[in-house]
Chains A and B, each alone.
Chain A
């Protein structure tokens, strides 16, 4: 079983709709969770991080964490064509540890 799993997509969402990206992880002791957005040919950009169960909102983005079910999700409201990118889920398994474990990424396409 992979440590961090994401559906590779592509995920196609109409402009203005909600895009929902999911990520599951295998280590129950995982402490912190990150979402990176990566445009083609560019470097990953940190867009959200979450540490506690529940929802965390930042603008059009909401990160959701459920440690009991070992999943973390990212919702993008009012999706825009500029949101088209690959979204990488990353998990820090040990508190304070420097190592992030990345999922393989989900490619999101927003259809105008």
Chain B
């Protein structure tokens, strides 16, 4: 199984809502990532979890809150978002071990619209 799954595929939320994005992988990978991608731009790294611990936070606003309940699951909790947060949110995973090259595999993404 070489698949990263993400739910939901689409999400529309108001600025006062609280919602969560979910990501799951069953490849035994130990690193998981959240990216944000705006139209015609490359993916922009938000967070990295390595062995279930947050290892990189790219100065993301606190209205985005990541959570890694176990090595296969990654959540992104959303609260009080702004319309400019509308984007494609991508989850990725990689083997995560030091000393290997860490190819990252992306899920299909969640298309988020903030009204």
> Could you list 19 examples of A-B contacts with CB < 8 Å?
A32-B102, A34-B104, A42-B108, A42-B109, A43-B90, A43-B108, A43-B109, A44-B90, A49-B101, A49-B103, A88-B42, A90-B104, A92-B102, A95-B101, A98-B33, A98-B55, A98-B94, A103-B42, A104-B42
Taken together as a complex, chains A and B put the C-alpha atoms of A105 and B104 apart, in Å, by 17
Residues of the B chain whose Cβ atoms lie less than 8 Å from the Cβ of A45: 106
Give, as a whole number of angstroms, the nearest-CB distance from A53 to chain B: 15
Interface residue total, chain A, C-beta cutoff 8 A: 24
Interface residue total, chain B, C-beta cutoff 8 A: 27
Taken together as a complex, chains A and B put the C-alpha atoms of A32 and B104 apart, in Å, by 12
- For the complex, would chain A's binding face be called helix, strand, loop or mixed by DSSP majority? loop
What 5 A-B pairs are tightest by C-beta distance, nearest first?
Answer: A102-B42, A96-B98, A32-B101, A43-B106, A43-B109
Taken together as a complex, chains A and B put the C-alpha atoms of A32 and B103 apart, in Å, by 9
Q: Which of A43, A98, A105 contacts B48 (CB 8 A)?
A: A98
Taken together as a complex, chains A and B put the C-alpha atoms of A65 and B41 apart, in Å, by 24
Instruction: Give the most central of B31, B48, B104: most A CB within 10 Å.
Output: B104
Within 8 A of A (CB), among B1-56: 31, 33, 41-43, 45, 48, 50, 55-56
Residues of the A chain whose Cβ atoms lie less than 8 Å from the Cβ of B100: 96
Give, as a whole number of angstroms, the nearest-CB distance from A4 to chain B: 9
Within 8 A of B (CB), among A59-112: 88, 90, 92, 95-100, 102-105
Taken together as a complex, chains A and B put the C-alpha atoms of A96 and B94 apart, in Å, by 11
Residues of the A chain whose Cβ atoms lie less than 8 Å from the Cβ of B48: 98-99
Q: Determine if B88 is an interface residue (Cβ-Cβ < 8 Å).
A: yes
Residues of the A chain whose Cβ atoms lie less than 8 Å from the Cβ of B56: 98-99
Residues of the B chain whose Cβ atoms lie less than 8 Å from the Cβ of A95: 99, 101
